[in-house]
Amino acid sequence: MAKKKRTKKKVSARKKPSSTRRSSAKKTDGGGKVGAGYSRVIADKKPKDVVFEVVVRPDTGKSAFDLDALPSVSSLSDYVPAADKCVEVSRKLQRHGISVEQVGRFSISASCPTSHFEKFFGTRVSKQTLPKSANLPKDYAMYAPGKGDPWSLPKVDNLDLLIDRAYIQHEPVFFANERPIPPHWPDKFRLRVPVDVAQILRASSVHRLGIDGEGVKVAMPDTGFYHHPFFKEQGYNFLAVTAPDASDHTSDDHGHGTGECANLLATAPGINFIGVKMGFNPTLGFKTAVELRPDIMTNSWGYSVDHPGTSMPNWLKPLYLAVLDAVSRGIVVCFSAGNGHFGFPGSMPEVLSIGGVVVDKDLNYSATTYTSGFESTWFPGRRVPDFSGLCGVPPTADYIVLPVQRGAVLDKEDGWGAFSGTSAASPMVAGVCALLKQADPSLTGDDIRNLLKYTARDITVGTNAHGEHATVGPDLATGFGLVDAARAINAVL
Partner 1 sequence: MPNKTTSTIAFDVLLRGETDDMDVATANLDKLRPPPEAIEKCFRWFAAKGVTCFRTDFGLGCEATVELFQSLFDVKLKQIGAEQPHYQIDGELHISKEIADLISQVTLVRPPTFFG
Q: Which residues bind partner 1 (CB under 8 A)?
A: 222-223, 244-247, 254, 256, 259-260, 278-284, 287, 300-304, 313-318, 320-322, 324-325, 327-328, 336-339, 341, 343, 350, 397, 410, 419-424, 426
CB of 244 within 8 A of CB of 301?
A: no
- The distance in angstroms from the start CA to the end CA of the chain is 29
Residue among 23 and 258 whose Cβ is closer to partner 1: 258
Quickly list H helices, 58-106. Answer: 83-95
CB of 304 to partner 1, least distance (A): 6
Residue among 223 and 438 whose Cβ is closer to partner 1: 223
Residue among 58 and 343 whose Cβ is closer to partner 1: 343
CA quadruple 447, 449, 452, 454: dihedral sign: negative
CB of 331 to partner 1, least distance (A): 11
Residue among 109 and 450 whose Cβ is closer to partner 1: 450
Residue among 24 and 372 whose Cβ is closer to partner 1: 372
Query: CA 427 to CA 298: how far, in whole Å?
Result: 6
CB of 222 to partner 1, least distance (A): 7
Residue among 350 and 475 whose Cβ is closer to partner 1: 350
CB of 369 to partner 1, least distance (A): 15
Indicate the pairing of strand 365-367 with strand 352-359: antiparallel
CB of 231 to partner 1, least distance (A): 19
CB of 352 within 8 A of CB of 436?
A: no
- With b for 16 or more beta-carbon neighbours within 10 A and e for fewer, the 346-355 pattern comes to bbbebbbbbb
CB of 342 to partner 1, least distance (A): 11
CB of 407 within 8 A of CB of 242?
A: no
**Residue 298: beta bridge partners?**
334
Residue among 93 and 391 whose Cβ is closer to partner 1: 391
CA nearest to 50, candidates 145, 161, 152: 145
CB of 206 to partner 1, least distance (A): 26
CB of 301 to partner 1, least distance (A): 4
CB of 248 to partner 1, least distance (A): 9
Residue type (1 letter), 106? F
Residue among 129 and 328 whose Cβ is closer to partner 1: 328
Residue among 126 and 450 whose Cβ is closer to partner 1: 450
Q: In what order do the strands lie in the sheet with 400-403?
A: 191-192, 400-403, 416-418
State the Rg of the chain over Cα: 27
Report residue 449 CA to chain centroid gap.
27
Residue among 165 and 254 whose Cβ is closer to partner 1: 254
Query: CA 413 to CA 42: how far, in whole Å?
Result: 14
CB of 324 to partner 1, least distance (A): 5
Query: CA 407 to CA 177: how far, in whole Å?
Result: 10
18: helix, coil or strand?
coil
Element (H, E) at 425: helix 422-439
Burial class (CB in 10 A: 0-12, 13-18, 19+), 164: buried
